[in-house]
Structure 1
Amino acid sequence: MVTWAGTRGVMPLAAALSIPLTADNGSALAGRPLVLVLTSSVVVFTLVVQGLTLAAVVNRSGLALEPEHTAQEEDDARDALNHAALEHVDHLATLEVMPATAVDRVRRGLTARLDHTAETPDGTTADAAYRQLRREVIAVQSTELHRLYDEHRISDTTRRRLQHDLDREEAALGIG
């Protein structure tokens, strides 16, 4: 006797297909075609219904979040982290336990991260303008690096190492 372990796609269909074509006496097994049709229908119906309703169920459950929501949540969290770090740096500055130049350098970096959403006069964000300017500066540095190499002022090893650093910096800027 065949036991059906579940209603997932292949098991019921495999069980239905394993029903013999003929009975012990050699006659065609009555009802086999009906079992095959019903089993196939149940499998297809189950897959189609689940496939068409899965997205709606996931969206309604709150398990899936829109990419924009996730990006905004990440930006908000980064801002909170930077604010907390800035407060800590300001606290260290009042205690005068760190050199003022180090405190100022870290404060400038944190402030720049917090200003990433400020708009420039042309309507782009300060972050986008920064990335564009940084890419231009990297291009100038790369050109200078090649000039130094062409004039035999640096070795190929040095050129490759510095070019690798510039490439990593540019890749860290991301797309945009």
Structure 2
Amino acid sequence: MVRRSGIALEPDHTEREEAAARLKLAHAGLRRLDELSELEAVPEVVLDRLHRALQARLEHARDRLGDESPGESSDHVHRQLRRDLILKESAELQRLYDDRGISDTTRRRLQRSLDLEEARPGDA
């Protein structure tokens, strides 16, 4: 009874349990996307975007299940790389604006999008 309630479970156990459940949820979502794709009821671009998001969740869950040793996880590397890419994109955006390739309105809109991307927690 105590085990089912979750009261006496070790944090490591609950993390693995959660990751395994997330893995199953992502697989269920991917199966549903396959069904929708076969029905051709949803635009392909929408299916692709949702598929990529579910794949990212799947990878994250797999990483959590497989990472038994401390150290840099692929999740940490992903965040670092994503931050680096956003910095490069911001620099290119500023260059485009400085070279008068885009208007201030476009620069602000795109910079806001990059800022939101950077602030967003890791894909899940």
Query: Identical aligned pairs, as a percentage?
Result: 53
Q: Which runs of 5+ in 2 are unaligned?
A: 1-6
Distance across 2 between alignment mates of 1:140 and 1:148? 12
Q: How far 1:98 moved relative to its partner?
A: 4.1
Distance across 1 between alignment mates of 2:119 and 2:92? 19
More helix by share: 2
Secondary structure in structure 2 of the residue aligned to 1:173: coil
Q: What's the TM-score once normalised by structure 2's chain length?
A: 0.63
RMSD of equivalent CA atoms: 3.4
Q: Deviations over 1:9-32 (max 9, x none)?
A: xxxxxxxxxxxxxxxxxxxxxxxx
> After superposition, where does 1:23-102 map in structure 2 within 5 Å?
62=7, 72=16, 74-98=18-42, 102=46
Q: Which residue of 1 aligns with 2:89?
A: 141
Which protein is bigger by CA-based radius of gyration?
A: 1
Q: What's the TM-score once normalised by structure 1's chain length?
A: 0.48
Letter in 2 for 1:168: L
Q: How far 1:142 moved relative to its partner?
A: 0.2
Q: Choose which of 41, 58, 76 in structure 2 pairs with 1:114.
A: 58
Distance across 1 between alignment mates of 2:45 and 2:113? 26
For these two proteins, the number of residue pairs brought into alignment is 111
Letter in 2 for 1:90: D
